[in-house]
Amino acid sequence: RKELKARQKELSRTDESRSDEKRGDIPSVSNAETAHQQPEKTSKEDELQRLEERLERAGDVGITDHDVTLYDLAGQQVYNMTHQIFMPSNGVYIYVTDLSKDLDDEVVFVDEYGKETKTGKTSRENIHSWSNSIHTRVSTKIDLQHEFKPSIVIAGTKIDKITKDRTKVIKECKEAIYELLTIETEAVAYLPAEGTMVFAVSNNPVEEVQQINEIEELKKTLLKLAQSKTYKVPDKWVTLELTIKRDTLKKDQLKMNLNEVYRVGKDIGLSEKDVDEALTFFHSVRDIIHFAEDEELGDTVITHPQRLVDLFRLVITAVSNRDVLDKNPFLCKMWARLHEHGVLDV
């Protein structure tokens, strides 16, 4: 199984500006076949220019803006504490697993140095864990007349590594995964209503592999699911979102105080109740992060979630070189406390 990494990348943005429609975000994992198509991280100036252009068109009647964001959620245990922050209620979740391995084989993590580390969990356990995590943390709900429901698809990789009875093995793996999801987990409600939900993919150019490669089918399914997660929202909501994103970015900040957001809303004709409803929606799709019901976080609006990921990477990371810890007992003690209790000593 390909482990997920804690980072966020913008997948794509159309040139049209959003005025009355908002498309759901797709948190996912990138793979070798699509990674090269992802845009490079834009500079602050480029991002500001894009926000200004969208703001200029935000009030145009009939203009639709499609906004799709890609999240990679890390599979290492140390990242579990951060997952719920970036899991939208209406997201399309792509779980990546190795079809060349049996579901009951132990998953081995290979770091950038080529060092293998046993995880102590099987692919079956990982699929079970992730499916139930989505069910637990991303509840299906209807809020402000917007129905939020996550979707799950499976990308089975490394089919080129299957050297014997490839077609038969792939078929059996698909059936086993489908049985696992529909019988042993709560994920059945989030599976595609039509067609397959397990796709056999590979980036190996060998013709015999490409003949059974289902990457195009996977792309079509993702597009269809994304199109089903489009919502109409007031144009002033969009203006609010873009304005607070622009203003905080100009100051090199990733958050804004709630009272300041209320002030911005008032300037564009939104009451505090309107602002609260807008923030609830944008939090549900994770364009903005605002835990309104939390006593400590309720006054803080995170306007740039991707920048929050960059901050997390400074303090939370999976250790790939164990020798570094072994040579530093003090650091090893701090790491153990973080790993066991989720407490970071600084």
Look at residue 154 and tell me if it is in a domain: yes
Q: What is the pLDDT of residue 5?
A: 33
Look at residue 328 and tell me if it is in a domain: no
Higher-confidence residue: 2 or 312?
312
The whole-chain average pLDDT of the chain stands at 76
Does the pLDDT of residue 6 top 60, yes or no?
no
Q: How confident is the model at residue 35 (pLDDT cuts 50, 70, 90)?
A: very low
Q: What is the pLDDT of residue 210?
A: 80
Phi, psi of 25 (to 5 degrees): -85, 155
Look at residue 269 and tell me if it is in a domain: no
Does the pLDDT of residue 301 top 90, yes or no?
yes
Q: How confident is the model at residue 299 (pLDDT cuts 50, 70, 90)?
A: very high
> Closest Cα to residue 22, out of 82, 56, 68, 87?
68
Q: How confident is the model at residue 68 (pLDDT cuts 50, 70, 90)?
A: confident
Look at residue 273 and tell me if it is in a domain: no
Does the pLDDT of residue 143 top 70, yes or no?
no
Quote the domain boundaries for residue 42. Answer: 7-46+66-231
* Cα(127)–Cα(132) distance, integer angstroms: 9
Q: What is the pLDDT of residue 302?
A: 94
Look at residue 189 and tell me if it is in a domain: yes
Does the pLDDT of residue 10 top 50, yes or no?
no
Look at residue 124 and tell me if it is in a domain: yes
Provide the domain count of the chain.
Answer: 1
CATH of the domain at 97: 3.40.50
* Cα(297)–Cα(171) distance, integer angstroms: 47
Q: What is the pLDDT of residue 37?
A: 41
Look at residue 244 and tell me if it is in a domain: no
Q: What is the pLDDT of residue 289?
A: 92
